[in-house]
Chains A and B, each alone.
Chain A
């Protein structure tokens, strides 16, 4: 095992311990949906769904309140205030190693055609009951021991 793998395994162990303590209340699911036509086209039908639930659950923090948008959400949208498409940072996430972690393509799958929809679903106290969908607006995989994603609330299907 390369040294970096051992470091990643150690980092992942620590992250898993934090999750086990209940300190990571938000579940992150990477979803790839494939439709029969470009998605959101009239008549398009869902043909397949692939999901990856990140484990251990990573830290999720609101990076900014976001922008005013019709796609705004979050728990605050229930208060009748404003609709804000919040921006969230997800991570640190352990990069792939021999016993776990995630590759960039697992975290941010390519939209290989207009028929494919990629989104991140966030479930937790910050979000509405059924979970909320986010588009991936950034990913930082430059660090050897952790990857960080930035997502923004977007349309539910």
Chain B
């Protein structure tokens, strides 16, 4: 049946099938991979319409049963396929709600250096980034800066804000109380390589400096996957915003690539799309 679906629909079907009946350690169901955003109401109510963004595609669905977030069923897949495939899909409320206390949309505190598991169970722990593995770039400067000190280069990360836009297919109504924005940013992480860089390499876990300097690309891609796992996992990032802002989801935009700067430096580059909900009544001026 799934062969009849377009790729996005197939992705939804697959992810929902994979998660059907999987219970997380916190007692809730596992969040749905690829479930990028849900405009969160306080509770899912049967008969109400909701929206989900999957890979940038907005999908409307109707809840057909409700039991707050503990267990709710959605009918959008059936609507898409013409078949009723699922009886219940559940997700933890924490994965689709966002709270916290930081000001200003333009200073989103994406702190991959301290992303911890908070208290969301083994799933979040497995996806979290151990503290101190990464460090901010010096003065938040570009890792490509020709005067960037080599000794602080390895596993330094830089957030390169790229763009902001309205959510696709949902232009902002200025009279609404809230609106959605898609922020694109590039997360760049530096790695040192070469046998002369052994003292500068910031190892973690079972890594050994003398061999780490010979496998910078592997380290870079491995870290990129870890960061993506963490940033894409709602419970870890959901507490990072506030002041009328809600983190609705994060997805990788394209591939993680590696840029060799020469001189024993390379940078992994991963572009993310972050969907946030902002309160229109809030003044976000600096």
Contact = CB atoms under 8 A, between A and B. Distances in A.
A110 B135 CA distance: 21
B212 to A, nearest CB: 11
Contact of A42 (B114, B147, B152): B114
B219 interface: no
B139 A155 contact: yes
Nearest to B152: A40
Nearest to A155: B138
A155 B149 contact: yes
Interface in B96-150: 111, 113-114, 131-132, 134-139, 141-142, 145-150
A124 interface: no
Contacts of B113: 41-42
Nearest to A85: B147
A110 B198 CA distance: 11
Nearest to A152: B147
Interface bin, chain B: 20 to 34
**Among B131, B134, B138, B149, residue most surrounded by chain A Cβ atoms (within 10 Å):** B149
Interface in A3-53: 37-44
B199 A110 contact: yes
B12 interface: no
Interface bin, chain A: 20 to 34
A40 B114 contact: no
A91 interface: no
B147 A40 contact: no
Contact of B202 (A114, A118, A153): A114
| A-B interface, 6 closest residue pairs, ranked by CB to CB distance from nearest | A85-B147, A69-B147, A41-B135, A70-B141, A155-B138, A114-B202
A117 B151 CA distance: 7
A43 B131 contact: yes
A87 B56 CA distance: 47
A154 interface: yes
A69 B145 CA distance: 6
14 contacts: A40-B135, A40-B137, A43-B132, A67-B146, A70-B142, A71-B145, A85-B146, A85-B147, A111-B199, A114-B201, A116-B151, A135-B149, A154-B138, A154-B147
B167 interface: no
**Among B113, B134, B147, B155, residue most surrounded by chain A Cβ atoms (within 10 Å):** B147
Contacts of B134: 41
**Among A39, A118, A154, residue most surrounded by chain B Cβ atoms (within 10 Å):** A154
Contacts of A70: 139, 141-142, 145, 147
A39 to B, nearest CB: 6
A113 interface: yes
Contacts of B132: 37-38, 41-44
Contact of A38 (B138, B139, B202): B202
B154 interface: yes
Given A38-B132, A69-B145, A70-B141, 14 more contacts: A37-B132, A40-B135, A40-B137, A42-B113, A42-B114, A42-B135, A67-B147, A70-B142, A71-B139, A71-B148, A72-B147, A113-B199, A114-B199, A135-B150
Contacts of B154: 38, 114
Interface string A133-151: 0010000000000000000
A117 B199 CA distance: 11
Contacts of A39: 151-152
A28 B136 CA distance: 28
Nearest to A37: B132
Contacts of A117: 151-152
A118 B146 contact: no
A102 to B, nearest CB: 21
A112 B199 CA distance: 5
A71 B200 contact: no
A155 B114 contact: no
